[in-house]
Amino acid sequence: MIPASQNAVGRPRASSRTVIEDAAAELFLENTYALTTIEQITQRAGVSRNTFFNYFDAKSDVLWVELDAAIDRLALELQAVPRGRPALAEMRAATIRVVSDIGVDRVPLALTQDDVMGTAEETRVSGLARLARRSDLIADFLAGQLYRSPNDLLVLSAANALSGAISAAWTVWARDGIGRRPLAEYMAEAFDVVSAGLETALSRTSLAE
């Protein structure tokens, strides 16, 4: 077994987590996600196979570190919004704030895999789990702002729609390659496409019923 010191020889020893992430990123690019095993990753990282599962619940989690972090930040932003504020405007602002510091070159690992949004169901499906988490988050937020239930058809539709639009922004941004503009711009566009109609639908029902 390769000693852990291989990755950091004098410098302050990198955390296992980082070492694993780096090794995984390398191998995914070399051999694709599907053909890379967790054993290979941990071997290259110089840790045991079990250590992988100390830091990640699933192989696919490594693909989505950036996106997961962005969703975490979105959760915090939304929590900080006082109740009663205009829901969609706050959502829009929070969404854009969250991605505003993501440089044009820092594309999430998952999205650099060209099989992600293509045929490879495996990677795509794990990405959809993030979409679902974000939908839940948004549904809770909207429900809170509109004093409705997160299970409400209207709330859920709006949340899913917004989450879908955000997802589209990420996808197109990643696909646009080198010449891409900042993610925040894509986010704003995608958001506005769907939010125009939501605005009226949501305001109408918050008065009625």
Stretch that binds its own copies, among 9-17, 19-27, 75-83, 154-162 (CB under 8 A): 154-162
Q: Cβ 57 to its own copies, closest distance in Å?
A: 9
151 part of the interface to its own copies, by CB under 8 A = yes
Q: Cβ 131 to its own copies, closest distance in Å?
A: 7
Cα(133)–Cα(147) distance, integer angstroms: 21
Residues 107-133: b if buried by 16+ CB within 10 A, e if exposed: bbbbbebeebbeeeeebbebbeebbeb
Among 60, 113, 145, 195, binds DNA (CB under 7 A): 60
72 part of the interface to its own copies, by CB under 8 A = no
31 part of the interface to DNA, by CB under 7 A = no
161 part of the interface to its own copies, by CB under 8 A = yes
Residue 140 contacts residue 83 (beta carbons within 8 Å): no
129 part of the interface to its own copies, by CB under 8 A = yes
Count the neighbouring beta carbons within 10 Å of the beta carbon of residue 2. Answer: 12
- Which residues lie closer than 8 Å to 88 by C-beta, 6 or more apart? 195, 198, 199, 202
164 part of the interface to its own copies, by CB under 8 A = yes
Shorter beta-carbon distance to DNA: residue 1 or 207: 1
The two structure tokens encoding residue 129: 């789990």
Place of tokens 């894509």: 186
How far, CA to CA in Å, does 164 sit from each of 33, 130, 138, 170, 193?
24, 11, 11, 10, 11
The footprint of its own copies on residues 167-196 (CB under 8 A) is 167-169, 171-172, 175, 186, 189-190, 192-196
Q: Cβ 38 to its own copies, closest distance in Å?
A: 19
Task: Give 58's DSSP letter.
Answer: S
Cα(99)–Cα(117) distance, integer angstroms: 20
Binding partner of residue 164 among its own copies, DNA, none, CB under 5 to 8 Å per kind?
its own copies
Shorter beta-carbon distance to its own copies: residue 74 or 198: 198
Q: Cβ 112 to DNA, closest distance in Å?
A: 19
Query: What residues make contact with DNA under the rule CB under 7 A?
Result: 1, 4, 13, 15-16, 36-39, 47-51, 53-55, 57-60
